[in-house]
Chains A and B, each alone.
Chain A
């Protein structure tokens, strides 16, 4: 839709202005759930159903996670509607998740009439205070004429700099009231500088360290994807010959089979990438924030290395790891400059060290995980089978826990924006709605939701939304009848005291069928390939339950509080 120009200026309600403002920002899909305080907006939406598709989820948490999935796959902000009170509070988990994982969202909540604010009115909560910690920015609107400007600002803030979720709370009277509608996109305001100018002196200093380095090492995160800097990252590592490892959210920014992609960092990452962090001489962190799950014990993290940090958020620089050179700015622009100043190079011997450790990990962990000789199915072999069917072209959405670590370790990715998972917050229940949002954003792509039996039941109601939208999500439940990751910790660190981690599960196939979704279950190796073929061949959503080994553990593992060099293979 064309931006509304001055000639189009007209008197409309705040509710209609909300819809027109969203359209002016290019929104074509919104996830939400109606209720009393947002009814005027839903009424206005009724007149714009062709331009703005509304996805009625079964819970507001489902709506916001779906919007996150939408945003992560499309690179556009996810838009959410919810009513006041419980509708708004149900967004909190998704807001917190989007904040820590830098996902752009614009959430619009209805609020009681401004005359009732502060009176404990029906379905009144102070969502501005409640959501403050979990949003990049939020605002309450009590006057209709402020709506377009607030929405313009919201989109600008959500999508620029380090992206994040914003929330606009609109009182019911402001939705009903009239205004002279006029929309102008926000192009900036003085208290917010999302595009810091890159200091070329810093770039030169970084290049000098890199050019002299014998064992340089790149760690990349989601900042690469958010800045659309995948090509620059590949060019940088290819020119300099530097091995590169990824954080959970950086996954898919560099193809899995890229010769310089050495694997995953962190607690359940690969052996070499963790161990060699403490042997490199120059560490180049690109668009990542040294999360504790990546670094382990900070006092024993890369102390021998000079650290270069390319980062857009100034508060992340020197927060956890002290840098020698910090380049503040957008990853794409920073990498472009860095490439210019770095010499072409090769680090064959250094790369061989990764290969050696990779071979050890393969023998001790990966071989038996992907091609097990034991009777029960492993999570790893399920992912391997899925790879064979998708050839690495699918979007893989995961929940949180053992299956997440296994899927991220073994799933193959050919292109960026293909991995969606809840990283920083570790939100169980994220996967099913996020996969729905991803599929709706990219209907042409195969979207696989890999979920544990625990997390699946946290947002299981969204099967209803999948049924209603016919979004062809392929759901793989890796069922070990345990809250597997917690059970693993109980086994390793709590003397096998399995406190409240065993699940007695319902019949997932019957549940899926009850929701009108085709489903099957497999528990033997012989049937796995066929079951998977049936799932991928099916035209529409499908649920495949795979019964896996009950008490398998995910390795390698950097125990909590240990150093990356203490990574355990068993």
Chain B
């Protein structure tokens, strides 16, 4: 049975590593719902957050294949129940003399969103939340005429104690060298 999995990957900061990781999904015909790359809590270590919809069995196999890549330090996979996660969405709406600004502001408040910026005739609204929530706001704002919409990849932290630091200690007991070249 397919379900949503958040795959968290800790890697060295190496050019091209993202291609190596994403090609493992391509090979098995798995669509990446979202991907986010950022720094992690460890200096010099990058964190990828990848969301897919797949069976548990296949997800575990891909995670092992990711972890096998040289310069990948560790890969985990989590169900939605196991993590706290969020996405950011931005909505651009053109204000015209016909725009019911009060109704618009009410909609923003009701959805726990806020006005990020007012630029000339345009208003940029920001909403942080789960995909269903940012999507619900999209539906709600549609009557006002959405000029632009973007949603970020998922950011996520597990609800359990992070085992990565222990794992990193074990790896560094073997060698502290990162050997990152250029």
List chain A positions with a Cβ less than 8 A from chain B.
128-129, 132-133, 136-143, 146, 149-150, 153, 157, 186-193, 313-315, 317-319
Contact = CB atoms under 8 A, between A and B. Distances in A.
Interface string B134-177: 00000000000000000000000000000000001001101111
Contacts of B19: 129, 132
B68 A187 contact: no
Contact of A187 (B16, B64, B172, B175): B175
B67 interface: yes
A139 B168 CA distance: 24
A313 B23 CA distance: 19
B51 interface: no
Contacts of B175: 187-190
A190 B172 contact: yes
A318 B67 CA distance: 15
B87 interface: no
A132 B181 contact: no
Contact of A191 (B12, B65, B182): B12
Contacts of B23: 132-133
B174 A193 contact: yes
User: Per DSSP, are chain B's interface residues mostly helix, strand or loop, or mixed?
Assistant: mixed
A149 B179 contact: yes
B38 interface: no
Interface string B65-101: 1011011110000000000000000000000000000
Interface of B: 11-12, 15-16, 19-20, 23, 27, 60-61, 64-65, 67-68, 70-73, 168, 171-172, 174-179, 181-182
B72 A191 contact: yes
A318 B61 CA distance: 8
Nearest to B180: A189
A190 B177 contact: yes
B169 to A, nearest CB: 10
B182 A141 contact: yes
Contacts of B12: 191
Nearest to A136: B70
Contact of B70 (A146, A192, A313): A192
Given A128-B16, A129-B19, A142-B182, A190 B72 contact: no
Contacts of B182: 141-143, 146
A191 B181 contact: no
Contacts of B15: 140
A192 B175 CA distance: 9
Nearest to B23: A133
A17 B16 CA distance: 25
A153 B180 CA distance: 10
Nearest to A193: B174
Given A129-B19, A132-B16, A319-B61, A149 B181 contact: yes
A137 B17 CA distance: 10
Given A149-B181, A189-B179, A190-B172, A315 B64 contact: yes
Given A132-B20, A191-B178, 8 more contacts: A136-B70, A142-B182, A146-B181, A146-B182, A187-B175, A191-B72, A315-B65, A318-B60
B181 A139 contact: yes
Contact of A150 (B20, B65, B177, B181): B181
A157 B67 CA distance: 15
A163 to B, nearest CB: 13
A313 B11 CA distance: 19
Contacts of A146: 181-182
B70 A190 contact: no
Contact of A153 (B68, B73, B176, B179): B179
27 contacts: A129-B16, A132-B19, A132-B23, A137-B70, A139-B181, A140-B15, A142-B182, A149-B179, A153-B181, A157-B70, A190-B168, A190-B174, A190-B175, A190-B176, A191-B11, A191-B12, A191-B73, A192-B70, A193-B174, A314-B68, A315-B61, A315-B64, A315-B65, A315-B67, A315-B68, A319-B61, A319-B64
